[in-house]
Structure 1
Amino acid sequence: MTPVRVGVFGLLGSGNLGNDGSLEAVLGYLRAEHPGAVVDALCGGPEAVTARYGIPATRLHWYRGEYRTASRAGAIAGKGLGKVVDAFRTASWVRRHDVVIVPGMGVLEATLPLRPWGFPYALFLLCASGRLFGTRVALAGVGAGPIGDRATRALVRWSARLATYRSYRDAQSRDAMRAMGVDTARDEVHPDLAFALPAPPSPGASVPAGLVCVGVMDFHGGNDDRPQAEEIHRRYLDGTTRFVRALVEEGRPVRLLTGDACDAPVVAAILDAVDSPLVTAAEAASLADLMKETAAAGTVVATRYHNLVCALKAGTPTLALSYAAKSDALMAGMGLAAYCHPAREVDPGRLLEQFRELEKNAADLRRTLAERNAATARLLEHQFTAMTAALFPKTDPAHAPTLRETP
């Protein structure tokens, strides 16, 4: 019997640890529940995906400069031609598969700057090709949110409508899609896919006393904040730096975390401004690495969504520098709604007050997180069961053992 052919799609292998963590969770599900599936990827960083996960991968965009600003005529022409070529490349790739899964990620939102002809256009090509060729396309555990730009909103709305299966990582994502005119009556909400990754081991007694992990981000606001982007970034960096300096002045060791390659300049700026041996930077290459870092800390203060997921999964009391409603929803779902601080207006004094409250209640919060993590594991089991029912009909030989190679 012909094995079921499964593709995974997205900005994977491009330096964002959260995206790659969602991919890792889906690959774990496929290998456990559908070991006969033949898996490959259409993604942003094919070399990295193949090297790390051992699956064949193809570059998402024909034009290699897709995500660089095009100012010269040649670059503009290259991008334009790439849109046409990508339509045929995506259709050809989708046609070779029975199932395509978009694993988590905020693919239906605009909480960070993006252009409609970038990833929203790529996602629309995927979903339209799936409908055209009868390939089942799943948007699994994705994030969504209100979108102001008309073209981006239209592409996102049609992508969701054309998908075979949709589930969301929080209720507000489903509400946002309903507000855009998508019928969400059969769509379900489940915890973020990264919660399905293995929990980190206990760090033992080697943890520095009072260690605080501070997760930073190259934050410039959302898609509608482009005119104020630099001012937003300056306030964020200044407030975060002052908070780190205050901890160091109390003799507290601080470990800086990132979640994307683009965050490195923020780390460098804080290290330069504080200039203390008490401040160090982690070199995490995966969410598993981030979970180990957060498990070794007494407390975590973080901005990136998947930095928060890692800390919460590790059971470490966490305070969110929240840059979008998804962070607030995540913290509320894990019982830490009181520990959110706006990333757009970091107030070091108020942040320190919230941090001290977090530490004072740390023992109770660890018990709360243990309970919520157990409940989250049960909910994710239902997520994967629902995916199997929607994407792998019993007639598919998905459970038949086979070599994991593309035709």
Structure 2
Amino acid sequence: MRPADGSPVRVGVFGLLGSGNLGNDGSLEAVLGYLREAHPEASVDALCGGPEVVAARYGIPATRLHWYRGEYRTASRAGAIAGKGLGKLVDVFRTASWVRRHDVVIVPGMGVLEATLPLRPWGFPYSLLLLCASGRLLGTRVALVGVGAAPIADRPTRALVRWSARLAAYRSYRDGLSRDAMREMGVDTSRDEVYPDLAFALPTPSAGTPSDAEAPGPVCVGLMDFHGGNDDRARAEEIHRRYLDGTIDFVRALVAQGRTVRLLTGDACDAPVVAAVLEAVDSPLVTASEAASLADLMKEAAAADSVVATRYHNLVCALKAGTPTLALSYAAKSDALMARMGLDAYRHPAREVDAGRLLGQFRELEERAAELRRTLAERNLVAARLLEDQFAALTSALFPASGRARGHVPAHATRETP
């Protein structure tokens, strides 16, 4: 629909988009697909981490999220510290000015309400609070769509996240654990719903052809620059070394069996881990993917016999492609995803990678490959239907008929994949 004056509805998208994280960009791509199909009249632009990338890749105007360009670099000198401090003040006005120009702002997916990876409260949590508070003050509907959440121990971060969620006009989550976490943090979630991750709305690549028993095909191994979570800073290097050593040993074992291994990532920061594995294994059977999008990752996964991966959206891509997948799980969101897709038995802790035990789980995964492919095909159909419901609910909540009250769409049942 259009505003009362007949002008196109103005929609903003917000987040760490275009910054090198393929999962974040995949969520954006899914929401843009929805907007172009359901609301082609809408005028869309972004306030994001990588405006040049977003503008070039998705063809929408984009503005830099932070006034201070060194926001995510460690500040040790007085000038840098002063720049960051000034930037926090300037961003109050920049964010409010951007929000004022929109009828609706969508935060597409992403783990914006969690701290499962190292996070500072004055970073993105502060930016999200500015967004949601501006929306409430200026009458712009802000929607947190299919987002991830998790319990947060750090008090300042938890407070910022809680108030951001409370001030949003619409909330939905990518799993039940996320909704439970927000309820435990004091947010009224009685009208919030749960749907599959937004990436399940992206086009499905052509299914690969599984290899026969005499000629096993490639294995995709998804890597991550993993150092534990926000509460693991004191043990970060120990956790990283254990993860890296275990993963290297696992890849070596695959190579010793003559298997071709394709290394996947999901964020630009993962490149050093890929380099470390390539150097340690030193085999022509191991190559690194140069995937630039979730679509590229799905194609890689679809061409493989099986996938072993760490990053959440590496798992999403492999499951969406219908490929038997084993998770090197680092957070409850990965566990919930694997259970929802019928592969709950195929999880291994990223903090304690045991190459021998992992290899045993991997063999069992491949032995049950045909059965698991059928399970994934069924679960993907359900996920697609549920995301149609998500987008219908979003239209009802954010693009109401003239004069309709703003707010959450009523919820009567949780919509989760069985």
For the superposition of Structure 1 and Structure 2, which TM-score range results when normalised by the shorter chain?
A: over 0.9
User: TM-score under structure 2 normalisation?
Assistant: 0.94
What does the per-residue CA deviation read over 1:363-384, in whole Å, with 9 as the maximum and x for residues that have no partner?
0000000000000011000000
**2:54 is aligned with 1:49:** yes
**Equivalence for 1:214:** 221
- Once the two structures are TM-superposed, the CA of residue 165 in structure 1 deviates from its matched residue by 0.1
SS at match of 1:107: coil
Specify which of 295, 299, 303 is matched with residue 306 of structure 2: 299
**Equivalence for 1:399:** none
Runs of 4+ with >4 A deviation = 203-208
**Equivalence for 2:88:** 83
**Equivalence for 2:231:** 224
SS at match of 1:255: strand
SS at match of 1:300: strand
Instruction: Measure, in 1, the Cα distance between the counterparts of 2:187 and 2:208.
Output: 45
Percentage of pairs with the same residue: 84
SS at match of 1:221: coil
Instruction: Measure, in 2, the Cα distance between the counterparts of 1:334 and 1:7.
Output: 32
**Equivalence for 1:346:** 353
**2:204 is aligned with 1:195:** no
Instruction: Measure, in 2, the Cα distance between the counterparts of 1:50 and 1:210.
Output: 38
Specify which of 253, 259, 266 is matched with residue 252 of structure 1: 259
**Equivalence for 1:95:** 100
What does the per-residue CA deviation read over 1:104-137, in whole Å, with 9 as the maximum and x for residues that have no partner?
0000000000100000000000000000000000
What is the correspondence of 1:282-361 to structure 2 with a 5 Å cutoff? 282-361=289-368
**2:369 is aligned with 1:369:** no
Structure 1 gap segments, 5+ residues each: 397-407
**Equivalence for 2:406:** none
Instruction: Measure, in 2, the Cα distance between the counterparts of 1:50 and 1:321.
Output: 34
Matching residue's letter, 1:89:
R
What is the correspondence of 1:257-296 to structure 2 with a 5 Å cutoff? 257-296=264-303
Instruction: Measure, in 2, the Cα distance between the counterparts of 1:142 and 1:244.
Output: 33
**Equivalence for 1:34:** 39
Matching residue's letter, 1:119:
F
- Once the two structures are TM-superposed, the CA of residue 190 in structure 1 deviates from its matched residue by 0.1
- Once the two structures are TM-superposed, the CA of residue 395 in structure 1 deviates from its matched residue by 2.9
Instruction: Measure, in 2, the Cα distance between the counterparts of 1:284 and 1:236.
Output: 23
What does the per-residue CA deviation read over 1:257-312, in whole Å, with 9 as the maximum and x for residues that have no partner?
00000000000000000000000000000000000000000000000000000000
Matching residue's letter, 1:308:
L
What does the per-residue CA deviation read over 1:195-230, in whole Å, with 9 as the maximum and x for residues that have no partner?
000000234699984210000000000001101000
Specify which of 104, 122, 127 is matched with residue 117 of structure 1: 122
SS at match of 1:243: helix
**Equivalence for 2:65:** 60
- Once the two structures are TM-superposed, the CA of residue 388 in structure 1 deviates from its matched residue by 0.4
Alpha-carbon RMSD across the aligned residues, in angstroms, is: 1.2
**Equivalence for 1:105:** 110
**Equivalence for 2:3:** none
Q: Structure 2 vs 1, CA of residues 368 and 203 (structure 1 numbering), >3 Å: closer, same or farther?
A: closer
Instruction: Measure, in 2, the Cα distance between the counterparts of 1:267 and 1:120.
Output: 29
**Contact residue 143 and residue 168 of structure 2 kept, 8 A:** yes
**Equivalence for 2:183:** 178
SS at match of 1:315: coil
- Once the two structures are TM-superposed, the CA of residue 348 in structure 1 deviates from its matched residue by 0.4
Instruction: Measure, in 1, the Cα distance between the counterparts of 2:209 and 2:185.
Output: 49
Structure 2 gap segments, 5+ residues each: 1-5, 404-418
**Equivalence for 2:155:** 150
SS at match of 1:112: coil
Aligned residues: 396
SS at match of 2:328: strand
Bigger RCO (CA 8 Å, 6+ sep):
1
User: TM-score under structure 1 normalisation?
Assistant: 0.96
